[in-house]
């Protein structure tokens, strides 16, 4: 386990210091054998940009996702409604929130039903080339060319900031749709 220290913690990919926390990503645990060249990166900080352009990114994301799948089987999640395309979506009934974990972009967000509905429509619009912006509670979605910038606020502070690249938007539409549909089913039941 390593700690992030502003302007001091170095990125393990490029070796340069990471200026601010929002540029940093903490790499998760993975499944691998002891000789894997990925192991030294586990639980280390890297620049988000370096991770996105890393030639081992897909391999790393797959190993992390595989571990996630094992954890589902072992009962570490509360109520998984979807796992595919590098996502695990877990419904947290008590808080009525969905925790969306993206193993490819290494990103996690808590979203409620209403936010998911609005986000699906927003993602569809941007996918078709619309410029738009969506503000919903603590989460702001912004189109940036063909990509989407998500900023997650904790009061006035930026909690996390991430760009969803265009190639990933369709996967987000699929995943967010699962949340919308899951709720529709719930409403019919109760
Ligand atoms: Zn770097």
Measured CA to CA, the distance from residue 190 to residue 187 in angstroms comes to 5
Residues of the chain with pLDDT under 70: 1, 183-190
Q: Which residue has the tokens 């190993």?
A: 63
CA of 14 to the centre of ligand 1 (A): 4
Encoding tokens for residue 42?
């586990």
Gyration radius (Cα) of the chain, Å: 17
What pLDDT is stored for residue 22 in this prediction? 84
Q: Which residue has the tokens 């009525």?
A: 96
Encoding tokens for residue 106?
């290494």
CA of 105 to the centre of ligand 1 (A): 15
What confidence tens digit (pLDDT) does each residue in 39-79 have? 999 999 999 999 999 999 999 999 999 999 999 999 999 99
CA of 133 to the centre of ligand 1 (A): 29
CA of 173 to the centre of ligand 1 (A): 30
- Report the relative pairing of strands 97-102 and 147-154 from DSSP bridges: unpaired
What pLDDT is stored for residue 156 in this prediction? 85
CA of 184 to the centre of ligand 1 (A): 43
What pLDDT is stored for residue 183 in this prediction? 67
């Amino acid at each position: 386990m390593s700690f992030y220290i502003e302007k001091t913690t170095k990125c393990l990919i490029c070796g340069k210091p990471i200026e601010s926390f929002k540029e940093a990503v903490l790499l998760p645990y993975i499944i691998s054998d002891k000789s894997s060249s990925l192991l030294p990166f586990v639980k280390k900080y890297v620049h988000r940009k370096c991770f996105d352009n890393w030639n081992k990114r897909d391999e790393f994301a797959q190993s992390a996702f595989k571990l996630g799948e094992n954890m589902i089987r072992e009962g570490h999640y509360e109520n998984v409604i979807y796992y595919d395309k590098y996502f695990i979506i877990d419904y947290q009934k008590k808080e009525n929130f969905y925790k969306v974990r993206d193993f490819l972009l290494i990103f996690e967000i808590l979203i409620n039903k209403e936010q998911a509905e609005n986000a699906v429509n927003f993602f569809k619009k941007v996918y078709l080339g619309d410029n738009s912006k969506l503000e919903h509670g603590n989460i702001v979605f912004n189109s940036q060319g063909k990509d989407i910038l998500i900023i997650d606020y904790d009061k006035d502070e930026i909690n996390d900031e991430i760009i969803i690249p265009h190639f990933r938007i369709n996967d987000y539409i699929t995943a967010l749709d699962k949340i919308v549909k899951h709720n529709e089913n719930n409403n019919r039941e109760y």
